[in-house]
Amino acid sequence: DFSLGQIDRSKWNVRVTGKVVNNEQQAYVDSPETVYVTTVHDDSGTENQVLVLHPRFRPGFKTADGRQFDFISGRIDTGEKFDFLYGSASARIKLPIGAGLWPAFWAMGDGQWPDNGEIDIMEYVGEPDWVSCAVHGPGYFGEGGLVNKLFFPNDEDATYWHIYTVDWVPDKLVFKVDGVVVYRITKPMIDFFGGWAFDNRKFLILNFAVGGVYPFKTNGIDLPYYGLSEEALNEIKDGRARVLI
């Protein structure tokens, strides 16, 4: 809930790049350029305050430890401020278009990955006709993660507002889009592949990555950046590539 018009830092951390993962092309920064709250109007004209994650093209940007990136972007999480064990987590999200844009809404436990368990409530690689959800844990992680895709009907796509949800109980995870079940993972299914990693507390994460492994294995694009299309690069340069939450 971002209705206060600003990020409540008693609940959310705005993260700065630590280690680089998944060959992503961005540095995460704590900046009002990349993470902010703004006002939008819905179809009825009602005003709503929404969080914006907004990658920017900044060739040659250097991090505090001297690493260089051409993109900056935003990532927030509730680590050390809020976590939960079982229940439902939902976010209403509006996504941009551009192959290689990689925003996500997910949850993860403390400790060593993948043993701590990861719940990907919504992942998107810039192709507007589908989104995915997944789980990762010991024996089923990375390329071996358990993944499902939702393909939207022809009259809508990921650029519309949608509510992405996971319902989490002791022996099951149920993923929904706009209240419709799109994937169900049970403990017996997980036990077939490895250890059940969903009986520990998780914190929530919202981020917007640029390029990287998951987009690349979908689009096969090497240039202008790994996993990132020319179209997506232009969307970022022109300021249109942003996620509303």
pLDDT of 235 higher than 80? yes
- Between CA 8 and CA 84 the distance in angstroms is 18
Q: What angle do CA 185, 191, 195 make, to 5 degrees?
A: 105
pLDDT of 13 higher than 80? yes
What pLDDT does 145 receive?
87
What would the pLDDT profile of 111-127 be if each residue is shown by its tens digit?
999 999 999 999 999 99
Domain assignments of the chain as residue spans, ordered by start? 13-244
What pLDDT does 231 receive?
98
pLDDT of 3 higher than 90? no
pLDDT band at residue 230, thresholds of 50, 70 and 90?
very high
What pLDDT does 4 receive?
81
pLDDT of 46 higher than 90? no
Over range 76-103, report the average pLDDT.
98
pLDDT band at residue 150, thresholds of 50, 70 and 90?
very high
Over range 3-19, report the average pLDDT.
90
Buried/exposed 188-211: b ≥16 CB within 10 Å, e otherwise: eebeebbebbbeeebbbbbbbbbb
What pLDDT does 5 receive?
84
What pLDDT does 17 receive?
87
CATH code: domain 13-244 is 2.60.120.200
SS3 per residue for the chain = CCCCCCCCCCCCEECCCCCCCCCCCEEECCCCCCEEEEEEECCCCCEEEEEEECCEEEEEEECCCCCEEEEEECEEECCCCCCECCEEEEEEEECCCCCCEEEEEEEEECCCCCCCCEEEEEECCCCCCEEEEEEEECCECHHHCEEEEEECCCCCCCCCCEEEEEEEECCEEEEEECCEEEEEEEHHHHHHHCCCCCCCCEEEEEEEEECCHHHHHHHCCCCCECCECHHHHHHHHCCCCCEEC
Residue-averaged pLDDT of the chain: 96
Over range 183-211, report the average pLDDT.
97
Across-strand partners of 62?
Answer: 68
Q: Tell me the CA distances in angstroms from 61 to 18, 24, 28, 100, 180, one per residue in order.
A: 15, 14, 11, 20, 42
What pLDDT does 42 receive?
77
pLDDT of 18 higher than 90? no
Which of 101, 186, 205 minimizes the C-alpha distance to 146?
Answer: 186
